[in-house]
Chains A and B, each alone.
Chain A
């Protein structure tokens, strides 16, 4: 347990609550930085398609359902106390992988179960940089509609979690995740000491053989005002836990910033924007850095 762990999370202080307005602000500011986005919900699309098949009159409905919707209406986020997000400042990441180690230690994971994985990248100028990749906590997560038994779900606070007591292990969520952020328990999980609380989606310890696990932003720590393991253990302070409701972001070094301004000032981007998943992990890039390989050009 590091001392930073007791850091209060953004938004935990009632004094800086700015109600829903702050979240809206952050969102629109984020959009400015990222450019227009299209939120295209699969559930809506399917709903529309079925309706269209049933009657010709429903054609309009189907067309409406397929139309882009404003991002602010994504999910049932209205009224939640927090909307969790993450900011990763790639300018400061030195590739030490302490985030990965801390996460695996905390959740009793195998070494290859890198819920937050640090990718080694090459910048356009030939230099090396690092890109930590947690779960993107998409506003429109492709893994949730894919699961046949509804074991994936999205909380009102914007966290996508896995109910391992229900997961059958079809692994179609691993197929649908464009970020390669899901990890299966292919063999016996790392044994964990007897836990005081029951294994649940927000505290999936120990892991269950034959089910899928993934980064959960340390969902069990957030309500008690603690930072996720990766945030608390980053010696460079490169990872921030953000709350879009209070419009704040805090890193493990104790720095707290205004989220919307921080993102806008630093031209934050999101990973694979074109996939329409609306990730809630924002990356701040240094010179020649790029998170999205799709943007790269083969010369």
Chain B
């Protein structure tokens, strides 16, 4: 967002009184759907743990792996989960550093999404490993092989996890201080008030504390962005540092980072829309927020489509045996349904949704985001599986050869699918639990925005080429087509 929007906030002054109430509602009230939902999600996660124990007993063959499909679903899951954690970094850090005012109601949800998905992504290493009980070897320096891309991954992701946790915690401090005060005044949930008071330290909203906290948040926000870029770059090295056609691509680091940002914003859209409905935040998070997140997602998706196009064009055109065979296998061979599902689902669909005024609505963008998440997971499968299964000893394209060595096949098994679904179910489960313990909105930030909006009477600057009316009550820009869902 440009500095033009810096002069105004999107949070209405009349609504700001309700912020504290709304932010603490999920903590204080337990709606009827809550426990059944948590129970259902927990059951799915438990089923995943069960499937994983079966896999431990029977070996990775039970997850559909074989010597030619040595990397498949769990590696795609891992890339996907670590990827979606980027939404938190973008929405929160980038929008914060660019002083984009409409971010305020979204930051907590975005940061929480990152906080939940990143450890899950790291945990996906466990089903991926042949002998996960030896995972301590990654922590044992005498065994370290510093030239291994997997060890780089381990360091990069661990560092990023710590940074993400700090980036979640710092903006929370001010809110916890406010929340603790409210709980103490009301006399409810005393234990939580004690916990919050402890977590908030001796913070009071005096200007000095606020200034130090703001400085720290900005500093960590600046750190989060290059770190996020480094994590997915390093993750891509595990593939790209080999000589395997389809993996050995110089485009991979950029490709992975853009894919991560893209799917990350899609996940933030989904959870923002869900939180809005479930926690009754319609007064603070509007359809316009979803539309703006859609606008953030749009260039990322288009860039990713462009990178995909260049990668396959160059590799296919060059006619280097291994690469050309791999491109053919992906775009018109065995994997064409999956590849074209990505192109249509995560490549063209979101662009079309944003292109037409009639579909540029929260409901359509939410639908597009769900499709993007699924299609990007499928795209990761298309990245991981075909290249792994390509025969290396004689190329199928070669005029001479390819009689006995054929492409390998990965077979989805119930074990790997249940484990994957369990990891997916763990995201909403952990978020529901998390928002039982922390305010769902960034109270202090929203109040600050509202205050700064008060002190500025500048006219909002309309997006180019749009008819704009300003709803003076909410301060939201009501644009044609950007309706509520």
Contact = CB atoms under 8 A, between A and B. Distances in A.
B436 interface: no
Nearest to B151: A148
B150 interface: yes
Interface in A83-127: 112-113, 117, 119-124
Contacts of B401: 121-122, 293, 296
A176 B147 contact: no
Given A124-B400, A169-B129, A187 B58 contact: yes
B321 interface: yes
B394 interface: yes
A146 to B, nearest CB: 6
Interface centre among A112, A145, A296 (most CB of B within 10 A): A296
A150 interface: yes
B137 to A, nearest CB: 4
B131 A168 contact: yes
Interface stretch (A1-9, A177-185, A257-265): A177-185
A253 to B, nearest CB: 26
A185 B319 contact: no
A293 B71 contact: no
Nearest to A289: B400
Residue from A149, A211, A296 whose CB has the most chain B CB atoms within 10 Å: A149
Interface string B388-409: 1001111101111111110000
A145 B399 CA distance: 34
Nearest to B64: A186
Contacts of A131: 393
Given A148-B145, A211-B131, A184 B60 contact: yes
Interface residues of B, number: 56
Interface of A (DSSP majority class): loop
Contacts of B461: none
A270 to B, nearest CB: 14
A121 B393 CA distance: 10
B61 A121 contact: no
A147 to B, nearest CB: 6
The B contact surface, by secondary structure, is loop
A186 B147 CA distance: 26
B405 A119 contact: yes
Contacts of B244: 175-176, 178
Contacts of A210: 59-60, 129-131
A154 interface: no
Given A168-B134, A171-B70, A183-B67, A178 B398 contact: no
Nearest to B395: A293
Contacts of B132: 168
B148 A296 contact: no
Interface in A236-274: none
B129 A172 contact: no
A186 B131 contact: no
A155 interface: no
Given A120-B404, A172-B150, A184-B70, A167 B131 contact: yes
Interface string B64-100: 0111101100000000000000000000000000000
Given A119-B394, A120-B403, A296-B395, A178 B243 contact: yes
By CB atoms of chain B within 10 A, which of A113, A128, A142, A186 has the most? A186
Contacts of A46: 146-147
Contact of A147 (B59, B148, B242, B399): B148
B377 interface: no
A133 B393 contact: yes
Contact of B135 (A168, A293, A299): A168
A112 B150 CA distance: 27
Contacts of B405: 119-120
Interface string B39-77: 000000000000000000011111001111011000000
A28 B395 CA distance: 30
Contact of B66 (A182, A186, A211, A293): A186
Contact of B130 (A211, A275, A296): A211
Given A120-B403, A142-B242, A185-B59, A298 B70 contact: no
Given A186-B59, A298-B399, A179 B393 contact: yes
Contacts of A167: 130-131, 134
Interface string B411-443: 000000000000000000000000000000000
Contacts of A174: 67, 70
Given A145-B145, A184-B130, A176 B241 contact: yes
B393 A297 contact: no
Nearest to B400: A122
A85 to B, nearest CB: 20
Of B132, B148, B151, which is in contact with the most chain A CB atoms at under 10 Å from its CB? Answer: B148
B129 A168 contact: yes
A297 B61 contact: no
Contacts of B403: 120-122, 128
Nearest to A277: B243
Residue picked from B129, B134, B137, B393, most chain A C-beta under 10 Å? B393
A186 B61 contact: yes
A168 B394 contact: no
B130 A171 contact: yes
B149 to A, nearest CB: 7
Given A187-B58, A188-B59, A296-B321, A43 B147 contact: yes
A298 B398 contact: yes
Contacts of B306: none
B400 A145 contact: no
B393 A172 contact: no
A63 B319 CA distance: 31
Nearest to A113: B67
B131 A42 contact: no
A32 interface: no
B143 interface: yes
A117 B393 CA distance: 10
Nearest to A165: B134
Contacts of B402: 122
Contacts of A275: 243
20 contacts: A42-B147, A121-B401, A121-B403, A122-B402, A145-B148, A167-B134, A168-B135, A170-B130, A172-B149, A174-B67, A175-B71, A176-B243, A176-B244, A180-B68, A180-B392, A186-B59, A186-B60, A187-B60, A210-B59, A297-B399
Given A150-B145, A171-B71, A184-B65, 15 more contacts: A121-B394, A145-B145, A148-B145, A148-B148, A166-B143, A169-B60, A172-B150, A178-B243, A180-B67, A186-B59, A187-B61, A294-B322, A298-B319, A298-B324, A298-B399
Interface of B: 58-62, 65-68, 70-71, 128-132, 134-135, 137-138, 143-151, 154, 238-239, 241-244, 247, 319, 321-322, 324, 388, 391-395, 397-405
